[in-house]
Amino acid sequence: MYRAISVLKPSSAVRSIQNTTTKTSASIFSRAQSTSAMPSATQTAAKPAAKLFEFQSQLPKLPVPALSETLPKYLRSVEPLLSKEEFAKTKKIVEEFGQSAQGRELQKRLEARAAEPGRANWLEEWWNDLSYMGYRDPVTPYVSYFYSYKDDKLRRKPTQRAAAIVRAAWAFRALVASEELAPEMARTTPLCSHSYKYMFNATRIPKKPSDYEATYSLDSNTHITVARNNQFFNLDLVHNGQLLSAAEIEQQLDRIVERADSTAAVPVGVLTADNRDLWADNYQQLVESSPQNAQTLEKLQSSAFVLCLDDTKPVTREETHRVFWHGNGSNRWFDKSLQFIVCDNAKAGFLAEHSSMDGTPTCRLNDYVLDQTLNNKVDLGSTTVRSDLPEPEPLRFVTPPKVVRSIEQAADRFNKTVGQHQLRVLQYEAFGKDEIKKLGISPDAFVQMAIQLAYYKLYGRSRATYEAAATRKFLHGRTETCRSVSNESVAFCKLFETPTASPQDKVAALQAAVKAHGAYAKACSEGKGVDRHLLGLRLVLKPGEEKPGIFQDPAYANSCHWFLSTSQLSSEHFEGWGFSEVVPDGYGIAYTIRKDALIFHIAAMKNDFGLNSDHLAHYIKEAATEMRATILAAKLAAGPKL
């Protein structure tokens, strides 16, 4: 069973939104041009009779919180980040905004937008455009996220493992297509299933000024795209009306490997790793170069998913994470929603394009695939290979010199971008979820406070921290920002770094910090955080209107400059997962909480800010160990009553 407490990082929203001042109308998030975080408990399947979209019409709409609710909460979130003098100034500005006619008018406009007939979600179009479709930096490494799989002891041959993964993923696809897949639930509350429409046979397509998502018929597109040696092949999984067996898929993959490894091709896939405006220009150049290219693109984009057969053999966790995070940039099509990756030593993982799906649906998909394959539950079909299977079809691009030059330039930019990143993977095996629960603390809150304490140990202060929180209990809901830094978390860090403090006082401070974190997280899951509401108030400003003081106050920008961007997605089948930082002077921390271990993917840039993922990993380990030891010491000192 998978657990998804957090649902990914703030992604590109940070870079886009911080540079936004007044925006009167968001670009419409164009969906198909052919033919939606933080649940409070482990997600469980609905009753067997429930269909995937059964509860959609019953889901409430994302609320617009009252100003009287958001503004005090905002003040509490910025107070630990400011000096007393700075906070006094910010408090005055915020209170003036709450009492002003402008504040009331902006609130009225936002409420009117939310109440518009036919609008599913007041935030949806804005968020999708600012955070994803209108964001122009490369999707890899800045937007996409990946999962690293446990090894499959039953399948050591790479194409054999790949074939089993394909069969398992196809079974999940069939459940989505038939809508027999049960909707996700947070305890008894159904979650929105909207994003499942963009899981299979879907792709992001580059366009200026904003990309769009295209979806294709699942019934008429029964092929996948296979990538090998920077080349792409079309593999139809249905032959004469019958799904290919695992043995047949394996044979077809062997054919692809043999053919691809004996030839070379211009690495067109690296274009998808480029700046989105540059990729949009090169996309048009590619299409205009030959009618064949348009046909090739259509075949690739309409495929159910991409299977990447990499010729690498990663060993260390850092090597493995880098392969699944970005690879060589060429043996991928980064715009596709789903890419399964299998290396030549049978290491395997998954890469998701983030724009239309957050983490919980893809975590569910991958947990299913791994449960089926690692536990040998997958239906592999017949062991007999039909003799009339057609050869996999190479997907050829016509690449005149101007296209080749563009590809070479894109490859240079990709190599420079990934080369600017440092990565450390911390596999903390002293304890995991089971032990943390015995200590009487929420596992997610424990890890969040360990990260806070680690950062404090490294830098001597607390800084703005983002934890993704899901709002999928609402129609087309996605995420809200859980602000992890609180007055209580800062007091906890300071006390734990005070040698004379007693274990009892330290534990009391930890419990207070955990309680504050839990309360904020709960508010976020109810659609009552502060960041999305304040964003909405900014975006309803009209051209020429003065920006309110609350948004001119440096405290606002500083409080959403995410020095720590964190998120949890967990499965007992994962060896971690990851994404990038969201600001040049910050860290991206993706973590997995398993029963007996904690896994941290810690990414940051190599630049003049002096960031050090190795040092932060060291202090996370030290913080987690100290926290557990302190709780046990306090229990021992207090006796059986504690």
Q: Mind telling me the catalytic residues?
A: 354
Alpha helices of 143-265 — where are they, by DSSP H?
158-178, 246-261
Q: Cβ(604)–Cβ(587) under 8 Å?
A: yes
Residue 345 CA to residue 323 CA, distance in Å, equals 12
Which of 590, 572, 392 minimizes the C-alpha distance to 1? 572
Tell me how far CA of residue 335 lies from CA of 166, 206, 268, 339, in angstroms: 19, 8, 13, 10
Question: CB atoms < 10 A from the CB of 544, how many?
Answer: 7
DSSP state, 150?
Answer: P
Give burial (CB, 10 Å; 0-12/13-18/19+) of 32. Answer: middle
Q: Residue 71 — φ and ψ, nearest 5°? A: -65, -45
With the CA atoms of 526, 532, 538 and 540 taken in that order, what torsion angle do they form, in degrees rounded to the nearest 10? -60
Structure tokens at 630: 């302190």
Query: Could you give the CA distance from residue 379 to residue 167 in angstroms, rounded to a whole number?
Result: 7
Burial letters for 333-366: b for 16+ Cβ neighbours within 10 Å, e otherwise? bbbbbbbbbbbeebbbbbbbbbbbbbbbbbbbbb
Distance CA 318, CA 301 (A): 30
- Residue whose C-alpha is closest to residue 584's, from 558, 551, 610: 610
SS3 of residue 3 by DSSP = strand
Helix, strand or coil, per DSSP, at residue 551: helix
**Tokens 């630990």 label which residue?**
80
d(CA 145, CA 577): 7
Burial call 484-508: b when 16+ CB within 10 Å, e when fewer: bbbebbbbbbebbeeeeeebeebbb
Phi, then psi, of 583 in degrees rounded to 5: -135, 150
**Angle at which helices 443-459 and 503-525 cross, to 10°:** 120
With 0-12 / 13-18 / 19 or more C-beta atoms within 10 angstroms meaning exposed / middle / buried, residue 626 is middle
